[in-house]
Amino acid sequence: MRFTFVHAADLHLDTPFQGIGQVSPEVAELLRDASLDAFDALVDQTLDAGAAFLLLAGDIYDGAERGLRAQLRFVKGLERLAEQGVPVFICHGNHDPLGGARSGGAAGGGWSAVRSWPENVTIFAADQVRRIPVEQAGSAIAQVYGISYGRRDVTENLALRFSREEGEGLHVAMLHANVGSNAEHAPYSPCSLDDLRDRGMDYWALGHVHSRRVLHEDEPWAVYPGNTQGRSFKPSEQGQKGAYLVEADGNRVRGLRFLQTERLRFRWEGLDVSGFDDLADLRRGLAEFAAAARADCGAAGLILDVRLEGTGPVHADLACSGGAEEVLRDLRQEFAGERPLVWWERLEDRTSPPVDLEAVRARGDLASEICALVDQKLEGPEPAEGLLGELIYPDKPHGLKRHLQELTPNEERELLERARLRAIELLDQADACE
């Protein structure tokens, strides 16, 4: 029998958006509602696809202290699915573990305004893996297995608790886990791909990793759908966000179709300025980039963070009189009122002046002494820490080390090289902006 089901995870309902500064009231409202609107879109597309069931593989909420409006919106969506006879299976993850519910709610460890759930909803417990059959026309089309987190910091390999049991149809396992030690995410319920292969399942509906990935195709399928709504400019939070519509035939998965649910898309981009003649030319280029990026988002809005890099004629213009800030203000005004929304969160100037370092080294002035000092420090094992410790914070070495310990060697060198170019620029062009 052919059927489809939807696999989603990491809804993070009512999530606080990370790394977003002061925005317009309109943008603030869209951000506030984005995760909830994405869930509504997930319900719409599940119903439109005629899916046999919906899987939500962990982190329904962003934390134990979930908001009332998130709970009510979630229940409303589940009720819509119940009206159409669509079963929903939920396992909880590290952000919304089951343990410690104070008001008897079954949907997580924090306060719950929900005392009962629609009959179509199955919430997997944390004490053991449970198996639930899904039937259509009196026959089992699938067996759904799952387990929730009882607490946030689950370090046990929960995959090893799964074992295929007797039952007709597609055997689907739901697990919120870090498969293969993904460094971008916390090592909760760590396991290997071999652990999943050895459990006898047909499809692993995974959650926890926010970038969508198909780890393995067939015998078994192992899939991360990613989160339903991006939350910041981190690499894992960018790109298309949504869920997977899984197409099955009997006990085999035939393929996946992506369902876009996001209402806002985050995009960070580095832009080389060497090809622009002046600020007006740069502004036109940025506007064209934003228009192309928006077209790629479909119906979703777009939030942009652009870093200007490289060297060229516009560097001096950007450095004088707040050039980058003025361009940013102008871009915000140009795209104000556009639909879908385009919001310029930041325009960062990381451009460099065109400097001939060999010529500077041969000049015999203060700039050449700075070059020599930086050259010396770049040859050492810890260049940035050593230079800043000597020149800027000589009386606070421990505090300095605490702030710099997360820098990689490449980042330390970049910091020094940029400081050198800036110092030379200021010395050579002290009156350039007058």
Q: Which pLDDT band holds residue 181 (cuts at 50, 70, 90)?
A: confident
The tokens for 109 are 């460890």
Work out the mean pLDDT of the chain and round it to a whole number: 86
Q: Which pLDDT band holds residue 101 (cuts at 50, 70, 90)?
A: very low
Residue 394 has pLDDT above 60, yes or no: no
| Residue linked to tokens 């064209």 | 288
User: What pLDDT, on a 0 to 100 scale, did the predictor assign at position 130?
Assistant: 97
Residue 100 has pLDDT above 90, yes or no: no
Residue 42 has pLDDT above 90, yes or no: yes
167 CB contacts (<8 Å, ≥6 apart)? Answer: 131, 133, 140, 143
Q: pLDDT per residue over 344-379, tens digit each?
A: 999 999 998 877 778 778 887 888 888 888 887 787
Least confident of 1-5, 183-187, 264-268, 279-283: 183-187
Question: Can you list the alpha helix ranges (DSSP code H) found in 17-130?
Answer: 25-48, 68-83
Which has more confidence, 429 or 206?
206
Residue 399 has pLDDT above 80, yes or no: no
Q: What is the mean pLDDT of residues 205-222?
A: 95
For CATH 3.60.21.10, the residue range(s) in the chain are 2-260
Which has more confidence, 18 or 47?
47
CB 253, CB 218: distance < 8 Å = yes
User: What pLDDT, on a 0 to 100 scale, did the predictor assign at position 5?
Assistant: 98
User: What pLDDT, on a 0 to 100 scale, did the predictor assign at position 389?
Assistant: 53
Q: Which pLDDT band holds residue 388 (cuts at 50, 70, 90)?
A: low
Residue 113 has pLDDT above 80, yes or no: no
With the CA atoms of 165, 166, 172 and 178 taken in that order, what torsion angle do they form, in degrees rounded to the nearest 10? 10
Q: pLDDT per residue over 125-158, tens digit each?
A: 999 999 999 999 889 999 999 999 998 889 999 9
Q: What is the mean pLDDT of residues 102-122?
A: 64
Task: Give the span between the Cα atoms of 361 and 369, in whole angstroms.
Answer: 8
Pairing relationship of beta strands 221-224 and 213-216 according to DSSP bridges: antiparallel
Q: Which pLDDT band holds residue 398 (cuts at 50, 70, 90)?
A: low
Pairing relationship of beta strands 242-249 and 2-8 according to DSSP bridges: antiparallel
Q: pLDDT per residue over 45-94, tens digit each?
A: 999 999 999 999 989 998 766 678 889 999 999 999 999 999 999 999 99
Find the length of the chain.
434
User: What pLDDT, on a 0 to 100 scale, did the predictor assign at position 215?
Assistant: 96
Phi first, then psi, for residue 432 (nearest 5°) are: -65, -30
Residue 336 has pLDDT above 70, yes or no: yes
Query: What CATH code would you report for 2-260?
Result: 3.60.21.10
Residue 1 has pLDDT above 80, yes or no: yes
Residue 109 has pLDDT above 70, yes or no: no
DSSP 400: H
